[in-house]
Chain A
């Protein structure tokens, strides 16, 4: 498809959708959202990019093979789960660190956040490794 309107709109939409996906990912801990819905929104952003510029170009914009994202996400999930073992606690226990950020307050960082990021990566990887080859035909 060769549409100037779609291409210009996509250039505005891609950063907006990616920002919204990160917002959903980070908010998911206490409110609706999380790695799964955030990952789906990010994947739909790249699908939109693929419709406007071609699937090959979307793969290039992603910067990595979607299957590598699946691997990286699964590895991160295992890592975030087994981090508790190093602290001599049962597997997948949430570990939290409170980081004081000047001008913002206390930032609670922990392994559940890492697990959410892992889910995000796996969802983006799986969705794009299904959709991009379909769009290439």
Chain B
């Protein structure tokens, strides 16, 4: 029973990591391609959120709760970066 639960958890985490990797690739595609600057900013924010998910999933896989603090810091700093980008996008619009 417990063995089954462990393999189920490991399968779910591995699947989550694979899907996060795919999402990361798609977000990166938007970051490179993104016709406008706001597209790229949103893509960068999305990459930050996916990174938090990857760290959390890896944390479960390796059973290292310390990694969750890194996820917290990434979540907070990615938000800050998006705010800063929004600030400069808005200012550039005013200049034009």
Q: Are B76 and A24 in contact (CB under 8 A)?
A: no
Which applies to chain A's interface (DSSP): helix, strand, loop or mixed?
helix
> A10: nearest residue on chain B (CB-CB)?
B83
> B73: nearest residue on chain A (CB-CB)?
A41
Report the count of interface residues on B (CB-CB < 8 A): 12
- Whether a CB of chain B sits under 8 angstroms from the CB of A33 is yes
**8 Å CB interface, B55-88 against A:** 66, 69, 72-73, 76-77, 80, 83-84, 86-87
Q: Which A residues are in CB contact (< 8 Å) with B84?
A: 51
Q: Are B69 and A32 in contact (CB under 8 A)?
A: yes
- Whether a CB of chain B sits under 8 angstroms from the CB of A48 is yes
Q: Are B66 and A20 in contact (CB under 8 A)?
A: no
Report which of A6, A32, A37, A41 forms a contact with B83, defined as CB distance below 8 A. Answer: A6
* Nearest CB of B to A76, in Å: 25
- Whether a CB of chain B sits under 8 angstroms from the CB of A58 is no
- Whether a CB of chain B sits under 8 angstroms from the CB of A31 is yes
Q: Are B73 and A47 in contact (CB under 8 A)?
A: no
Q: Are A41 and B87 in contact (CB under 8 A)?
A: no
Q: Are B69 and A33 in contact (CB under 8 A)?
A: yes
- Whether a CB of chain B sits under 8 angstroms from the CB of A44 is yes
Q: Are B69 and A24 in contact (CB under 8 A)?
A: yes
Q: Are B83 and A48 in contact (CB under 8 A)?
A: yes
Binding site for A on B (CB under 8 A): 66, 69, 72-73, 76-77, 80, 83-84, 86-87, 90
